[in-house]
Chains A and B, each alone.
Chain A
Amino acid sequence: MPDQTNRIHNGVLGETKPCQFIFNEQRFTGQTGDTLASALLANGQQLVARSFKYHRPRGIFSAGVEEPNALVTLRTGALTEPNTRATVVEMFDGLEAKSQNHIGPLSFDVMAINDYLSPFLSAGFYYKTFMWPKNFWEKLYEPAIRRAAGLGSLSMQEDPDTYDKGFLHADLLIIGTGPAGIAAALTAGRAGVRVIIADEDFLSGGRLNHEQLHIDEQPASEWAKTSMQELASMSNVRIMTRTTVYGSFDHGIFGALERATEHKLNSAGKPRQILWRIYAKRSLLCAGATERSIAFGNNDRPGIMLAGAVRTYLNRFGVSAGKQVALFTNNDNGWQTAIDLQKAGVEVSAIVDSRDIKPPFTLSDVPVYMNNQVVDTSGRLGLQSIKLASGETIQCDVLGVSGGWNPNVHLTCHQRGRPVWNNELSAFVPDDTMPASMLVAGAANGQLSLSEALLGGHEKALAVMDTLGVKHSSAPPAKSTTEESVTISAFWQVSGSSARSWIDLQNDVTTKDIAQAKKEGFQAVEHAKRYTTLGMATDQGKTSNVLGLAIMAELANQSIPQTGTTIFRPPYTPISIGALAGRSRGKHFRPTRLTPTHDWATKHNASFVESGMWMRAEWFVQDGESGWRDSVDREVRQTRESVGICDVTTLGKIDIQGRDAATFLDKVYANTFATLKPGKVRYGLMLREDGFVMDDGTTARLSDTHFLMTTTTANAVNVFRHLEFCRQCLWPELDVHCGSVTEQWAQVAIAGPNSRGLLESIVDKPFDISNESFPFMACAELTICDGTPARLFRISFSGELAYELAVPSRYGSSLMDKLMEAGKPFNVAPYGLEALGVMRIEKGHAAGNELNGQTTAGNIGLGRMVSQKKDCIGNVLSKRPGMNPDDSIALVGFMPVNPTDTFSAGAHFIAKQAEPTLANDEGWMSSVAFSPSLGCTIGLGFIKRGTERLGETVIAHSPLLKKDVEVNIVSPHFVDPEGERLRG
C-alpha cells in the first residue's frame, strides 16, 4: 500500500518531517505533529483494536483523551506501556506500537467467538452464569474469562524511567489552551497576573486547530499560535503543554501530570513524567467539550467515529478518515463536518439528520435525509454501508456521528460539585456547587460557539482580577470571529433496530444491558454503572456516560435531572503509578537511617537488618563461621565471659528540660521520677491513657532541671509526639521543653564482666568508675580519650555488668575503633541486634514483642510500678476490672522438657491432653531464642496466672508449624536471677 493515501494536506502542521513507525510489526510513515491515530488513519488503518468483552473489531473513534477504542501498547521490553490512547500519542521517529486483547492476528482474533456467546455475557453475567460446579469458578471459569477479557498487559519488568514531582504557585491557573483559555491568559497576563496555563495537548489552541474558524480575519490556528507566542514572552506567564490537570483538591490545590519526554524515542536520563502540585489562588476551567455518540444498531464498527473527530483529523492533521464519508447528526454542528470535507474534496455520501426540520445548510451533490435515522451498519472489519430507517442503504467507509457536546465539567465536580442539566444544550453544565475559587469559561461552561468562548474567557479573567484586586484594562483580546450555529435537538437512541446498539464502546455495554439492569432492579445510576460497567476503565465514560444516563431516563420514563449523574473523581485521565511514586521507589521509598557506626560495622563484616527506618548490624561474621547462629552464639559467649560492645544509638533519646521537668515526667511515666537524684538513672514505664503499656526505657537525671529520656527504637517518634501532646495540650502551664536528640549522640553498650576494665582505659582521669563511686544506675557527664565529651550510664539490658557510653555522633565510629583497640586484652567482641535480643531474653526483659499494645503493667510483671500516689497518663483506666482479672496472663519463661526440642514464637499454650481450641487457649509464646548460656531453646511468653504456675508443664502448640512441644513454666530470668552480676 502506498504511504499515507489519506493524507490530503499538512493541516495546521505546516512544515513537517516524516516519521517511520511500526504498528503490529508493519512499517508505516507518519509525520511530526501527528498522533499515532492520525498517522494510522493517514495510512488507511481503520482496524486498530478488539473490544473488551466481545472482541469486536474496533477502529479509531475520537481524536482526543476520550478515546474508548484505540488503546495500544507502546514500546517494548521494560519500557512497555499498555493501554495508551492512540489518539493522544505524539508521533516520533521510531515509535513502536501494537494492538491489544486478541489471540492471533488483529484481523482474525480467535476470541471473537465471545461475540457469538454474547447472550451469556450480558450485564452482570459473572453473578449468574458459570456458577456450577462451584469450584470450577475459581479454577477454570474465572481465569479463562480474565484471560479473555481485558486490556493490555504489563511487561513485569522494572520501569527504567525516572519520574519527578514538583510544586508550583500561581495567582491564576488556567486549564486548557482553547479559545477561552487563551483569551483569559492574554487578558490576565497583560495585566501582570501570575498565570499558569496548562493543556494536555502538545499543540496549543484546542478547537482553534480543529475547525475552519477565523479570528480577526486570520485563521484561528494562526491566532492561537501568535497569541501563545505573546504569552510565552511574558515573564509572569508559565505555559505547560503536554500537561493534564487531572484533579482539583481542597483549598485551590491542583494535581497536574506533565509528560516530559514521552514524545521522544528515549528519555535520555530526563524524567519521563513530572507530577506537579499547583497551588492556585484562583482557577479558570477552560477544558472544552466532548462530543457524544448516538446509539444505533452495530454502531461500533471501525470507521464509525465522532463527527468532530473526522473534522479534527481533516483540519488539524490534513487526514481524511475515509474515501466516502456519511454523517449522522442531531445538531447543526455535525453538518460542519460535511462542509469541511466537501471543501477538501472528500466525497460525502449522505447526511442523516434525526430532526424534523428544514436542512440548516445547503450542500450541493450531497444526499440529505432529514427526520431519518441510521438503523444498522455492515462491514465486519471496517464499515461498508449504513441502512436508514427509511430503507435506503448507503455505501460509505466512514460514518461521522454527532449526538451533541458535553461540557468537560469534571474538575468542577472533584469536591462534590454536581453539574446541572441544561435543556437547550441537552447537556450538563457546571453549577455553583464548584469550589469558590474556581470559574469556568467557554465550552466547559456550555458556551459552545467561538465568540462566546473568547468573550467568556476574557470576562472571567476580569472577574478573577477584580477578586484579586488587580487593576486591568478591559479590551477583549479578539474583535471579530466566525459565527457558529450550535442548535441541537436531543436524540439519544434509534429504536426499532434488532442489532445491538453500543453505548460504552470500551466496556461493551449496549442499550440491552441498560434495559436488563433496570429490569433486575439496578435503576439508580450508581447501581446501573456498577452492574453494567458503563463508564468504567481508562476513558471513564467520557463519550458514553451522558448517553447511558439519557437511555436510563427514557427507560424509567423520567427526566435526566431526575435520573441523576455518577460522581466524577480524580484523575481526569489515567496516571501511571510511576508518576505517583516519583522518586520514592525501591530504596528511596522511605528514608534509610544509618547509625554513626554503620561504616565501621560494614568494615567489620556486619550483616544488616532493617529495623524501622534504621539499618542495624544483626551480627558480625568471623572467618570459619558457617551460619548466623555461629556468630550470634559466639558474640553472646564472648560478652558474658568477657566484654562485648554494641551500637544502641537507635534508641530514641529525648532531652527534657525546665523547672517542672520532674513534675512532667511524673505525669507521663507510671512510676515516680521526682525522687530521682541528679546523677542517677531510673527505669520508666509509660502507659497509654487507656491503661495499657505504651513504651519503656531508662531516664537519666543529669541535673535538677535536666533529664534525658530513652525510648524503644520503634516508638521513638510516637513517644515524642505524645510528650508534645501532654506538654502543649494537657499541661501547658508547666515549665518544660522537649527536644529529640536521638541523632545527636552515638550510644554504645559495653557489657560483660570486663566492661569496667575496658572503660577504665578510655575514661579521662580523675573520673572514678569504681563500683563504689559509680554504682549500678549511676550516670555522669565526663570526658574520654583525652577530652572528648561523653555521657556514661551504668545500665544493663544484657544482665551483665554493663554501661552505655554516649559521645557526639561524629565520634561514634572512632569510639568503636578505640574500644576495639583498648579491648584487645579482653578479647572484646562487637555484637549485633540478634545477640542483644538473645541476652535480653536470657535476662527476661520485656521488649517490643511483649509491649505489643495489648499488655498491661501487671501482665509484664511490673504492676507495682504504677504509682498509687499520683495521677499519670493511663493511671485511672489501668485499674479497670477488665484489665485486672483473677486469671490474668503473666510474663514467664519457658524451657523445653526435652532439652533438644525447639519451639518458636507465636505458639499458643494449652494444657497437656487438651484439644487445641480457642476455649483451651491459655496464652502465647512472645519471644524465643537459642540460649548459648543454657544450651537449649528458651522462650518468654504470657500464660494465665503464670507466676503461680512455675514448674508446671504445658504444651506449646503451633498450628502454623504443625508442632506440639512440652515446655516447663520457669522464671523469666534465665540468667543471674538475683541480679548480682549487674551490680558487681
Chain B
Amino acid sequence: MNAALAPNPTYTDMLIPHPLLGLRDSAEFVYLGDAKLLLRPNADSETAADEFHDYLHLRDNPAGLHKELWFHEYGDRSWLVVTRDTLTHEISDVQLARDVVIANSEQQNGQEHA
C-alpha cells in the first residue's frame, strides 16, 4: 500500500455502527480515508496515467459529510464505508465496502445495457 495510503491507528473515542456487529469502538478500526479509493480507474484507458494520478493523489477533505474507508482490523476484517460529518463526528451511514462496490458496478452495467 502506498505510504500516503498507509493507515494509522486512531485514538479518537468514537463508536462506529458496524453493519454486521453493531456499535464498535473506533479503537478497533484502522482509518484509511476518502472512499473514492473504491473507484480504481481502468488500466486500459488511454488516459490511464492521469486517471490513476487523480485517483491516488486527489482526495476530498470536506468540512462536513464525508464518505471514508475504515478497516475493522481488530474485529472481523471488514472494510467499511462510513459516512461521517467531519465537523461533528456524527455518523449517518455505514455499509460494507464490498456491498457498495458491487452495487456501483451493477448500476454501471445497467447503464451500459440501457
Which residues from chain B contact A718 at a C-beta distance below 8 Å? 1, 6
- Are B1 and A688 touching (Cβ within 8 A)? yes
- Are B71 and A721 touching (Cβ within 8 A)? yes
Cβ 8 A contact of B89, one of A250, A694, A877: A250
- Are A729 and B98 touching (Cβ within 8 A)? yes
Query: Does any Cβ of B come within 8 Å of A702's Cβ?
Result: no
Q: Report the nearest A residue to B12, measured CB to CB.
A: A250
CB distance from B80 to the nearest CB of A (A): 9
Query: Does any Cβ of A come within 8 Å of B58's Cβ?
Result: no
- Are B3 and A853 touching (Cβ within 8 A)? yes
Query: Does any Cβ of A come within 8 Å of B69's Cβ?
Result: yes
Known interface pairs A250-B14, A689-B2; A875-B43 also in contact (CB < 8 Å): yes
CB distance from A732 to the nearest CB of B (A): 4
- Are A690 and B73 touching (Cβ within 8 A)? no
Query: Please, how many angstroms separate the alpha-carbon atoms of A392 and B28 in the complex?
Result: 67
Known interface pairs A251-B15, A690-B56; A724-B6 also in contact (CB < 8 Å): no
Query: Does any Cβ of A come within 8 Å of B4's Cβ?
Result: yes
Known interface pairs A688-B3, A730-B38, A871-B43; A251-B105 also in contact (CB < 8 Å): no
Which residues from chain A contact B7 at a C-beta distance below 8 Å? 721
Query: Does any Cβ of A come within 8 Å of B44's Cβ?
Result: yes
Known interface pairs A721-B1, A733-B105; A728-B78 also in contact (CB < 8 Å): yes
Query: Please, how many angstroms separate the alpha-carbon atoms of A877 and B52 in the complex?
Result: 7
Known interface pairs A249-B13, A250-B13, A725-B79; A730-B101 also in contact (CB < 8 Å): yes
CB distance from B63 to the nearest CB of A (A): 12
- Are A253 and B3 touching (Cβ within 8 A)? no
Which residues from chain B contact A724 at a C-beta distance below 8 Å? 71, 77, 79
Q: Report the nearest B residue to A739, measured CB to CB.
A: B77
CB distance from A216 to the nearest CB of B (A): 40
- Among B13, B88, B89, find the residue whose CB has the most chain A CB atoms closer than 10 A: B13
Cβ 8 A contact of A732, one of B48, B53, B101: B101
Query: Please, how many angstroms separate the alpha-carbon atoms of A876 and B44 in the complex?
Result: 9
Write the B53-76 contact mask toward A (1 if CB under 8 angstroms, else 0).
101100000000000010101000
CB distance from A192 to the nearest CB of B (A): 23
- Are B43 and A732 touching (Cβ within 8 A)? no
Query: Please, how many angstroms separate the alpha-carbon atoms of A79 and B49 in the complex?
Result: 62
- Among A255, A688, A692, A733, find the residue whose CB has the most chain B CB atoms closer than 10 A: A688
The prevalent SS among residues of B at the interface is mixed
- Are A728 and B79 touching (Cβ within 8 A)? yes
Which residues from chain A contact B38 at a C-beta distance below 8 Å? 729-730
Q: Report the nearest B residue to A719, measured CB to CB.
A: B1
- Among B37, B48, B79, find the residue whose CB has the most chain A CB atoms closer than 10 A: B79
Query: Does any Cβ of B come within 8 Å of A604's Cβ?
Result: no
Known interface pairs A718-B6, A876-B52, A880-B49; A729-B97 also in contact (CB < 8 Å): yes
Write the A242-253 contact mask toward B (1 if CB under 8 angstroms, else 0).
000000011111
CB distance from A851 to the nearest CB of B (A): 12
- Are A253 and B14 touching (Cβ within 8 A)? yes
Query: Does any Cβ of B come within 8 Å of A277's Cβ?
Result: yes
- Are B102 and A733 touching (Cβ within 8 A)? yes
Query: Does any Cβ of A come within 8 Å of B30's Cβ?
Result: yes
Q: Report the nearest A residue to B13, measured CB to CB.
A: A249
- Are A730 and B1 touching (Cβ within 8 A)? no
- Are B12 and A871 touching (Cβ within 8 A)? no
Known interface pairs A694-B1, A876-B43, A876-B49; A729-B69 also in contact (CB < 8 Å): yes
Write the B11-54 contact mask toward A (1 if CB under 8 angstroms, else 0).
01111000000000000001010000110110110001100110
Which residues from chain A contact B37 at a C-beta distance below 8 Å? 729
Which residues from chain A contact B5 at a C-beta distance below 8 Å? 688-689
Write the A852-894 contact mask toward B (1 if CB under 8 angstroms, else 0).
0100000000000000000100011101100000000000000
Query: Please, how many angstroms separate the alpha-carbon atoms of A518 and B16 in the complex?
Result: 45
Q: Report the nearest B residue to A435, measured CB to CB.
A: B88
- Are B44 and A871 touching (Cβ within 8 A)? yes
Query: Please, how many angstroms separate the alpha-carbon atoms of A879 and B101 in the complex?
Result: 27
Cβ 8 A contact of A877, one of B30, B49, B97: B49
Q: Which of A689-737 contact B (CB under 8 A)?
A: 689-690, 692, 694, 718, 721-722, 724-725, 728-730, 732-733
Which residues from chain B contact A722 at a C-beta distance below 8 Å? 1
CB distance from B103 to the nearest CB of A (A): 10
Q: Report the nearest B residue to A717, measured CB to CB.
A: B73
- Are B43 and A253 touching (Cβ within 8 A)? no
Known interface pairs A251-B89, A876-B43, A877-B52; A721-B3 also in contact (CB < 8 Å): no
Query: Please, how many angstroms separate the alpha-carbon atoms of A880 and B50 in the complex?
Result: 10
Query: Please, how many angstroms separate the alpha-carbon atoms of A725 and B1 in the complex?
Result: 9
Which residues from chain A contact B41 at a C-beta distance below 8 Å? 876
Which residues from chain B contact A853 at a C-beta distance below 8 Å? 3
Which residues from chain B contact A277 at a C-beta distance below 8 Å? 13
- Are A690 and B69 touching (Cβ within 8 A)? no
- Are A730 and B40 touching (Cβ within 8 A)? yes
- Are A253 and B79 touching (Cβ within 8 A)? no
Q: Report the nearest A residue to B41, measured CB to CB.
A: A876
Q: Which of A266-322 contact B (CB under 8 A)?
A: 277, 279
Known interface pairs A250-B14, A251-B15, A721-B73; A732-B6 also in contact (CB < 8 Å): no
Cβ 8 A contact of A721, one of B30, B49, B97: B30
Which residues from chain B contact A250 at a C-beta distance below 8 Å? 12-15, 89
- Are A732 and B49 touching (Cβ within 8 A)? no
Query: Please, how many angstroms separate the alpha-carbon atoms of A875 and B3 in the complex?
Result: 16
Query: Please, how many angstroms separate the alpha-carbon atoms of A724 and B49 in the complex?
Result: 25
CB distance from A697 to the nearest CB of B (A): 15
- Are B71 and A725 touching (Cβ within 8 A)? yes
Query: Please, how many angstroms separate the alpha-carbon atoms of A249 and B27 in the complex?
Result: 13
Which residues from chain A contact B105 at a C-beta distance below 8 Å? 733
Which residues from chain B contact A694 at a C-beta distance below 8 Å? 1
If A250-B13, A689-B5, A871-B43 are given as contacts, then 17 extra A-B residue pairs at C-beta distance below 8 Å, sorted by A number, are A250-B15, A255-B13, A688-B2, A690-B4, A718-B1, A721-B7, A721-B73, A725-B32, A728-B96, A729-B97, A729-B101, A733-B105, A853-B3, A876-B41, A877-B52, A877-B56, A880-B49
Interface positions of B (Cβ within 8 A of A): 1-7, 12-15, 30, 32, 37-38, 40-41, 43-44, 48-49, 52-53, 55-56, 69, 71, 73, 77-79, 88-89, 91, 96-98, 101-102, 105
CB-based closest 4 A-B pairs: A871-B43, A249-B13, A732-B98, A251-B15
Interface positions of A (Cβ within 8 A of B): 249-253, 255, 277, 279, 415, 688-690, 692, 694, 718, 721-722, 724-725, 728-730, 732-733, 853, 871, 875-877, 879-880
Q: 22 pairs across A/B with beta carbons < 8 Å?
A: A250-B12, A250-B13, A250-B15, A250-B89, A279-B15, A688-B1, A688-B2, A688-B3, A688-B5, A690-B4, A694-B1, A718-B6, A724-B79, A725-B1, A725-B69, A728-B78, A728-B97, A728-B98, A730-B38, A730-B101, A732-B98, A732-B101
